[in-house]
Amino acid sequence: MNDSRPYGAYAPSGLASFAIEGTRRLPQRWATRRIALMLRHLVLHSLKGAPVDVETFGVRMRLHPYNNVCEKRILFTPQYFDPAELELLASRIGEGFTFVDVGSNVGWYALFVAARAGAKARILAVEPQPEVFDRLAYNIRQNPFGTVKAVACAVADKTGELTLFLDPNNRGESSVKIVSSSQTDAIRVPAVTLVDLLDREGFTRVDAMKLDVEGAEDLILDPFFRDAPTSLYPSLFIIEDGRDRWQIDLPALLASKGYRLILQTRMNLVFERT
């Protein structure tokens, strides 16, 4: 369960503090990743289900590192968390930066941008799961940026209500497509198309967008490019690589709209419009 006590009530101490500080200093090598995983296992057992309040790269967050892989990564090894993508994204941040984070989870990307984009930025963090959304909203409130708005809905191919499939072992893995776990749960959530979302929130341009919706990126972008004016085309897309699950050739669609692939990592594809 989420806990609304003031930030700092769950500051790590003892073994947890030592291990978290240690794993965050480890370089990206196979052997050190194994060490990080072993220390993570020990700490999670010692915490007995309590959350942890930490600051990471200038962002304050309360993390629940038990049923969400994203929160585990932020807590123990943030230096491994999409480093190339975040470095590229940071290099594009300028005055009045606009960023839309679809599938925001607990807000790591949105708050990372907010910590660097200044007071004139505008950031939208979109998350459909009620429990994870509560964590996202809490994390936004713990930071002084004032530029991040959380929106509780799914983004899909039509506006209305839809079934969202959840993996109870990894709350970060939810999708309008059935997820891989045999223990899948399902809930009904409000949904909106990307065009309707941007119109409702008054966006006239988007400098960058992250899409992480567990293989449903094609369902979002196909109608978006059919209906949106070119003025709303994001300059930069960070998209979870779901080519084994997409029903259309999404890279080809992006190429037809003026985008080129500028970065490919183990998890993501990054496209920029020229």
pLDDT tens, residue by residue, 242-255 = 999 999 999 999 99
The angle at the Cα of 85, spanning 79 to 86, to the nearest 5 degrees, equals: 60
For the stretch 28-51, pLDDT in tens is 888 999 999 999 999 999 999 999
pLDDT of residue 28: 87
The ranges assigned to domains in the chain are: 14-75, 83-273
Q: What is the pTM of this model?
A: 0.94
Q: Is 70 exceeded by the pLDDT of residue 181?
A: no
- What letter does residue 30 receive in the DSSP assignment? H
Sign of CA dihedral 175, 180, 181, 184: positive
Q: Which residue has the higher pLDDT, 175 or 87?
A: 87
The CATH H-level (homologous superfamily) assignment of domain 83-273 is Vaccinia Virus protein VP39 (3.40.50.150)
Sign of CA dihedral 96, 101, 106, 108: negative
